[in-house]
Structure 1
Amino acid sequence: MASEDPVADVREGGTWTPRQRLKNDVVYVLVRALLAFALLLPRRVLRAACRALGGVAYAVLPRTRRIVAARLEAGLGRSKVRAQSVFTTVAGMLADTLDLLRPGERAGARLSLDPTSRRVFADALAEGRGVVFVAAHLGPWERMAALLVEEGFPVATVARESYDPRFTELYERLRRPRGVRSLYRGRRGVALSIARELAEGRAVGFLVDIPARVPSTTRRLFGADVLVPIGPARIALARRSAVVVGTCAPPAPAPTTSGSSHPIVLISRVSLDDLGPESCAEDVLVTRITAELERRIAAWPEAWLGSFVPPGRPAALRGALDPH
């Protein structure tokens, strides 16, 4: 029996074989067709369809179901949160992301920025040394980036290009019109671009909750040992930039006075005080960042994409979902 063609990564200068190109062409055409169909659906119908799809995935993917259940048990112990709710909630987030492709859709239509968090972020930016914005795949994270720009904050995000450049362009369709700029890891000059953003007093966002093929260190996150990138801490210390953790949080149990029950964005400052000797400062800062992320995830575990990824592995499913 002939062996399968080795996977070629065009991001690293590889070239697809004819078989790989055919497979990727088919996947791309199917995704574009499904995307076009999805955007023809009314918002409520699209959300219901995505949540139903999440329910189907829960039923037909036993291995993934076990991974999610194990992550919930590790992070929460005995809890009322069930694996099925993770599948349907994350599927609903997919519908929310697709809505951002609709003309005229405001990022603030279904997500709001907590007033205290707005002041924290504004104060950090006002210091003029840039802000390292650490985030997680928690709730509608794509809408969060768009909302911050909509609120007038200068934000760029560090991302990983898709295995297929055509999908990277789809991601750009989602972000570029909303003013969210992507700095792609692996491209020449990205380190200089990050430094320039910070030097000019802007914020650079990093998603660090799912393992990636970058320099990382092991930390305890939601009940499991995971690989956490050290880049954000290293950059912040080198540039003397402020560090904040910003994530989406669940809506209040009852509608607010404005009648909204949508998720909110919470932003908090990570202290750079008392980090100890210079040789230990990076490790201490990574620990503080991870602890804050764990607290956020524990508050809304059903909306965390990381539940689908076995601890300690670079995210194999990430290429299908996002380029970070």
Structure 2
Amino acid sequence: MSIPWHKRARRRLRSAAIGFLARALSRLPLGWALALGALCGRLAYRFGGETRRQMLSHLARAFPEKPLQEHEAIARASLVHLAQLALEVIAVRAYDARLEEYVTFAGAGERLLAEAMARGRGLVFVTGHVGNWELLARRIGRTGVPNAVIARRSADERVNALMERFRAEGGVATLWREDPATARALIRNFRAGKLLGILVDQDTRVQGVFVPFFGRLAFTPRAAADLALRFGAPVVVGTCHRAGDRPGHVLELTEVGYDPDPADPEAEVQRITLECTRILEDAIRAHPAEWVWMHDRWKTRPGGENTPQAIAVPKTREMTGV
């Protein structure tokens, strides 16, 4: 069924507007970008009634002990943070030369990363929509670690192209989840000993397992655990949060140990996914304004009719030319 002409025209206009705004805002100094982001976030909270209601509903589930006023404050701050995040990505050229100062590792995080990569099995790098996940990936790339991320295409190809270019300029390859070639790219990634970034904090149509998230079962992607067990790669959970006392972000890395030859692989997948989710939840609890509260994390329920499908990763022996 063809798309009506007026919808196609509207999409083209929207895409052109996004491109124009991205080019114009990319020239902003960092301070101006953050100030504009803060203004846009406050306006979004005031006038985005549906988004505001979704966020407050999800915050009430996650923090039933907190009063409404605190939910409102978190939701408002979250939209400010997300708008600033977008402007940080767009205006990256203003501070990219000093990215190592703007995005820093906490404690021995950079050494942990180097030691995990030195094992030569690749690395499953698990993260979520906490802090600025795009700058997290860019900062990992700045260390010289070869890496790629799995991402979902948006409905706007211009946005996809912008994000793919942003990542590539930062040394991060993009593997689109919907691309049939991604399955083989995953094999090549681990055989080359590279890092693969996977976000596991959203309820999406991929294969998953139910693990607790803020005290309630949430359908969680299982790919990180499956890939770790298949390739013997270390699992590291990385989270990001704003520095607080200065502009910028702090990265915290935690390795998740696992049994590489479990008697019950399915139980080990469950345990790895649970531990990764627990670390992400702890980060969100510590910095609740830096998560995407408009997302319905508990949408899929156990025993429901939803049957998500994952990318089918072919067996290594089935591949040629890899």
**Mapped contact 1:75–1:298 kept (Cα < 8 A):** no
Alignment partner, residue 62 of structure 1? 49
3-state DSSP class of the match of 1:163? coil
CA distance in 1, matches of 2:263, 2:88: 42
Query: In structure 2, which of residues 173, 176, 194 is the aligned counterpart of residue 202 of structure 1?
Result: 194
3-state DSSP class of the match of 2:243? coil
Query: In structure 1, which of residues 272, 290, 300 is the aligned counterpart of residue 258 of structure 2?
Result: 272
Alignment partner, residue 78 of structure 1? 66
Distance 1:225 1:61, change over 3 A: farther
Q: Percent identity?
A: 26
Which blocks of at least 5 consecutive residues in structure 2 are unaligned? 301-322
Alignment partner, residue 10 of structure 1? none
Q: Does 1:19 align with 2:11?
A: no
CA distance in 2, matches of 1:124, 1:140: 23
3-state DSSP class of the match of 2:253? strand
Q: Does 1:129 align with 2:121?
A: yes
Q: CA deviation at 1:72?
A: 2.6
Query: In structure 1, which of residues 78, 87, 111 is the aligned counterpart of residue 79 of structure 2?
Result: 87
CA distance in 1, matches of 2:299, 2:8: 26
Distance 1:20 1:246, change over 3 A: same
TM-score, normalized by length of structure 2?
A: 0.84
Query: In structure 1, which of residues 215, 219, 229 is the aligned counterpart of residue 221 of structure 2?
Result: 229
CA distance in 2, matches of 1:103, 1:87: 23
Q: CA deviation at 1:21?
A: 1.6
Alignment partner, residue 147 of structure 1? 139
Distance 1:160 1:279, change over 3 A: closer
Alignment partner, residue 317 of structure 1? none
Q: Does 1:241 align with 2:233?
A: yes
Query: In structure 2, which of residues 9, 17, 33 is the aligned counterpart of residue 30 of structure 1?
Result: 17
Superposed counterparts of 1:111-190, under 5 Å: 111-190=103-182
Which blocks of at least 5 consecutive residues in structure 1 are unaligned? 1-5, 7-14, 315-324
Alignment partner, residue 191 of structure 1? 183
CA distance in 1, matches of 2:54, 2:84: 20
Superposed counterparts of 1:274-289, under 5 Å: 277-289=264-276
Alignment RMSD, CA only? 2.3
Superposed counterparts of 1:33-44, under 5 Å: 33-44=20-31
3-state DSSP class of the match of 2:154? coil
Alignment partner, residue 312 of structure 1? 298
Q: CA deviation at 1:207?
A: 0.9
**Mapped contact 1:72–1:301 kept (Cα < 8 A):** no
TM-score, normalized by length of structure 1?
A: 0.83
CA distance in 1, matches of 2:211, 2:265: 20
CA distance in 2, matches of 1:103, 1:173: 17
Deviates more, 1:157-166 or 1:119-128: 157-166
